[in-house]
Amino acid sequence: MIKPHGAERLNPLFVDDTEKHHALQQEAENLPSLLLNSAAAANAVMLGAGYFTPLTGYMNLADAMNVAEHMQTTDGLFWPVPVVNLTHDVSSIKGAERIALCDPNVEGHPVIAIQKVEAIEEVSPQQIEQMTEQIFGTLDTAHPGVATFTSLGNQLIAGPIEVLNYSYFQQDFPDTFRTAVEIRNEIQAHGWEKVVAFQTRNPMHRAHEELCKMALKALDADGVLIHMLLGKLKKGDIPAEVRNAAIRKMVELYFPPNTVMVTGYGFDMLYAGPREAVLHAVFRQNCGCTHLIVGRDHAGVGDFYGPFDAQEIFDQIPADALEIAIFKADHTAYSKKLNKVVMMRDVPDHSPEDFVLLSGTKVREMLAAGHPLPEEFARPEVAEILMKFYQSETAS
């Protein structure tokens, strides 16, 4: 099986030893506490689940700046996006060697992790700006990732963490949330050697379904990991529980048995385009996947990135940075000429009128009005789930 990134084995920071877990929970009751923002809590979940192997906790300022500028830590580990714990006010934890990190996304704010405080550093406005521009390629606060990152605070708390729970993800998505450890184990149990990962924050239409099948066939792969983001999204994106139901229905009805794993991970979307695509590759390698599908405008938002920027970045990083390979995909759509879904680059004789193409706005309008989507665009069983959601939204 493919090795984890930068390590011989996964390094999940979740404390699964019962005795130690209980002792840490007791210790947390007497520690100074810090209420995390959602971004830092999501980083804790990813660190706990082994997705961010080989990291041991939150980066210090030197590492965060170096990762933003050069995509590597100061000791040379390839990493595409800073993994930080930023906050506005550190008065409650000043002088503390260990602190309890509290979850902002769960009622009562339970302790999600304990952090050893190695440094508390003030980040200047210029440094925040520099990191923002390097991660997102823009300073425009109309970009949801920029708006979030620049609002997190200017106090950076660095140090290793021990994770005590997976926030709301395990409870809200018990059949879907999986750690990198669990995914690796399941891949091994299937006996799969070549595994293609498909990243999604949306329900999957016919084009997405066929793209996974194209990659399976082209790579002669054993299976597909459909891996959906379960964390915070921008306004207007479809909630995780609706997306989950739609994807599971599609896999159940339209994929051969035992060729797909439907799973999810607990992270907030960055919308960082190319940089986030590389992060997706890093943690899919940690899951045991050998390939990642990177399509048109992968992890992008609006018009902030070119359609293939997220593919081109993989040609710019060091050749030995990652072991996972990239399956580069073009936009896929149903061809009226050929009566099947195709990659647009494979049919140069087609004009836009030869495809069944619907904008996101048009899809939402049709579903909200109770109008069925064309079967060439979406499976009817999937469209039905989405229609119920949009109609309930309209009614409320």
User: Which residues are marked as active site?
Assistant: 201-202
- The angle, 0 to 180 degrees and rounded to 10, between the axes of the packed helices 274-287 and 180-190 is 60
Q: How many residues comprise the chain?
A: 396
Residue 31 and residue 96 in contact, taking contact as beta carbons nearer than 8 Å: yes
Nearest of 114, 110, 146 to residue 128 by alpha carbon: 146
Bridge-partner residues for 33, per DSSP?
Answer: 100
Contacts 24+ apart (CB under 8 A), 352-355: none
Burial group, residue 242, by CB count within 10 angstroms (0-12, 13-18, 19+)? middle
Nearest of 145, 144, 159, 142 to residue 64 by alpha carbon: 159
| Amino acid occupying residue 278 | V
- Round to whole Å and give the CA distance between 202 and 364: 13
H-helix segments, the chain: 18-28, 38-48, 61-70, 125-136, 144-149, 169-172, 180-190, 206-219, 240-254, 274-287, 309-312, 360-368, 380-395
Give the three-state DSSP class for 161: strand
- Round to whole Å and give the CA distance between 391 and 305: 32
Name the CA radius of gyration of the chain, rounded: 21
- Residue 352 DSSP label: G
Nearest of 11, 2, 8 to residue 179 by alpha carbon: 11
Burial group, residue 87, by CB count within 10 angstroms (0-12, 13-18, 19+)? buried
In a 13 Å sphere around the CA of 334, the CA atoms on its Cβ side amount to 14
Nearest of 293, 296, 295, 284 to residue 323 by alpha carbon: 284
| Amino acid occupying residue 360 | G
Q: Do strands 260-265 and 111-116 pair parallel, antiparallel, or not at all (unpaired)?
A: unpaired
| Amino acid occupying residue 218 | A
